Amino acid sequence: MEFNKSYTQYWESAIQKSVDGTVIAGLNEADHFLSPLGLSYSDRILDLGCSTGRMSGVLTRYSKAVYGAEPDSYAVSKALAQPYQEVRQGTAEATGYPDGFFDFVFCWAVFDVVDHVDGLSEINRILKEGCHFLITCKADSYDLEDVLAFKAEKNAFLKGFPNKFTNLAQLCRQIGIFGFELTDLVTFPHRGDMGLLNYKRQPIGECPHEAVIEGYEYLMVAKKISTPGGLQKDFSAPLDGRFSATAKTLAMRAGHASVKEYFESIGID
Ligand SMILES: C[S@@+](CC[C@H](N)C(=O)[O-])C[C@H]1O[C@@H](n2cnc3c(N)ncnc32)[C@H](O)[C@@H]1O
C-alpha cells in the first residue's frame, strides 16, 4: 500500500470516527506523556510521520521549533499550513534532516509501518546525544481475548494495509545496540485503551530472554547514549513482524498452517 493522498484522507476521517468505535489517541493523550519530559521551549522537535499536522497543536505548546517529516506529498502540503518551522518529504528511515539536529523526536502512530532497525538507526543519527525519542506502536503479544485487536489485525491484512508488530521484550533487550537507553515504557492492554489513557507502566531494567511483554499498543521513551565505536549492526533477532504472536497462536489453535490462511478463511468483517 502506498502512503498517498487517499491514505491521508482515510486517516483524516479515521481520527474523526474510528471504524470500530474505539477512541483514537490524540492531542490530550500525547500531552499526558509529553508534560513530564522536561522539554525546553527552545528544543528542536521532529514530528516524524506528521501527516497533515494534527499533532502540531500539542507539540507547539512545548517548543517554538517544531519540524515535520512525512512521505506523502499531499499531507506535506497540508502540514505546511500548520505552525512548523519546516516540513520535509521524508520517512522515518530517511528523514532528510542533518546529523544531531534534534533535541526530541516524536513519532506517534507511525512506527507500525516503519522498518524498526532502519527507523531506530535514523532516529539515532538525527538526535543529539542525551536527547530522547518517544514512539508509539503495536506490540505483538496482545490478549488472546482481545476481539477488536484481532479483527483490526485481520482486516488490515486482508485490505493490504501495512502493519508491523513489535516484539517488545526483544526491543527492550536490544535497545542499547541502537545507541539508546530506555527511560519509560507503558503498555495499553487492549485495543482502544490508548485513547482512554488506560495503561500499565512497565519496569525498566534487565529484560530476561524468555520474557514476553503483553499489551496491544505501547509507548516508549528512550535517551540517546554515547556509542564511541559507532552503532553495531548485529541484531540477534527480528524486532518486528508482519503478524502478531497472538494471531499466530490463534491460527495454530484453529488448525491453520499460517495466519494468512486463517485470516482468509474468516474474511473481512
Ligand atoms: C496513522 S498516520 C499518523 C499521523 C500522525 N502522526 C498523527 O498521529 O496524526 C501514519 C502516518 O505515517 C506516514 N508514514 C508512512 N510510512 C512512513 C514512514 N516509513 N516513515 C514515516 N512516516 C510514514 C503516513 O503517510 C501517515 O501520515
The enclosing domain of 114 has a CATH number of 3.40.50.150
pLDDT for 207 equals 84
Distance 111 CA to ligand 1 centre (A): 8
User: What separation in Å is there between the alpha carbon of 75 and the centre of ligand 1?
Assistant: 10
**Cell matching residue 222:** 528512550
In this prediction, residue 208 carries a pLDDT of 82
What's the per-residue H, E or C state across 203-223?
CCCCCCCCCCCCCCEEEEEEE
Q: Is residue 42 a part of any domain in this protein?
A: yes
Does pTM surpass 0.85? Answer: yes
Name the grid cell of 268.
473481512
Asked whether 247 and 150 are in contact (CB, 8 A), the reply is yes
* Residue 67, helix vs strand vs coil: strand
Q: Which atom of ligand 1 is nearest to the CA of 91?
A: 20
C-alpha cell at 134: 518517544
Ligand 1 atom nearest to CA at 108: 6
Residue 259, in any domain of the structure: no
**Residue nearest atom 25 of ligand 1, based on CA coordinates:** 3
Alpha carbons 2 and 72: distance in angstroms, whole number? 9
Give the pLDDT confidence score for residue 236 in this predicted structure: 66
Residue 216, domain member (yes or no): yes
pLDDT of 93: 97
* Nearest-angstrom CA–CA distance, 25 and 194: 6
Among 192, 187, 194, CA closest to 213: 187
Q: Report strand pairing: 86-89 vs 65-70.
A: parallel
| Domain total of the chain | 1
User: Which of 113, 116, 120 has most ligand 1 atoms within 8 Å of CB, for mutation?
Assistant: 113
Average pLDDT for the chain: 95
**Within-domain flag for 126:** yes
Quick check: is 256 in a domain? no
Domain-embedded: residue 107: yes
Structural contact between residues 122 and 101, judged by C-beta atoms closer than 8 angstroms: no
Give the per-residue pLDDT at 103: 98
Question: What is the residue range of 96's domain?
Answer: 5-143+164-233
> Residue 156: which of 260, 17, 265 has the closest Cα?
260
Question: Tens-digit pLDDT profile for the chain (269 aa)?
Answer: 789 999 999 999 999 988 888 999 999 999 999 999 999 999 999 999 999 999 999 999 999 999 999 999 999 999 999 999 999 999 999 999 999 999 999 999 999 999 999 999 999 999 999 999 999 999 999 999 999 999 999 999 999 988 999 999 999 999 999 999 999 999 999 999 999 999 999 999 888 888 899 999 999 999 999 987 777 766 667 899 999 999 999 999 999 999 999 999 999 99
Q: Look at the alpha carbons of 18, 195, 136, 154 in this order and tell me if their dihedral is positive or negative.
A: negative
> For residue 208, how far is its CA from the centre of ligand 1 (angstroms)?
32
Closest Cα partner for 193 from 28, 25, 58? Answer: 25
Q: Residue 131 and residue 170: Cα distance in Å, rounded?
A: 22
- Nearest-angstrom CA–CA distance, 254 and 236: 31
**264 within some domain:** no
Residue 242 inside a domain? The answer is no
Closest ligand 1 atom to the C-alpha of 71?
A: 25
Phi, psi of 91 (to 5 degrees): -120, 175
- Residue 23, C-beta contacts closer than 8 angstroms, at least 6 positions apart: 192, 195, 196
Q: Tell me the three cell numbers of residue 258.
A: 499460517
CB 248 within 8 A of CB 166: no
Closest by CA position to 142, among listed 269, 29, 247: 247
Beta bridge partners of 194: none
Give the model's pLDDT for residue 211: 87
Q: Is there a contact between 79 and 70 (Cβ–Cβ < 8 Å)?
A: yes
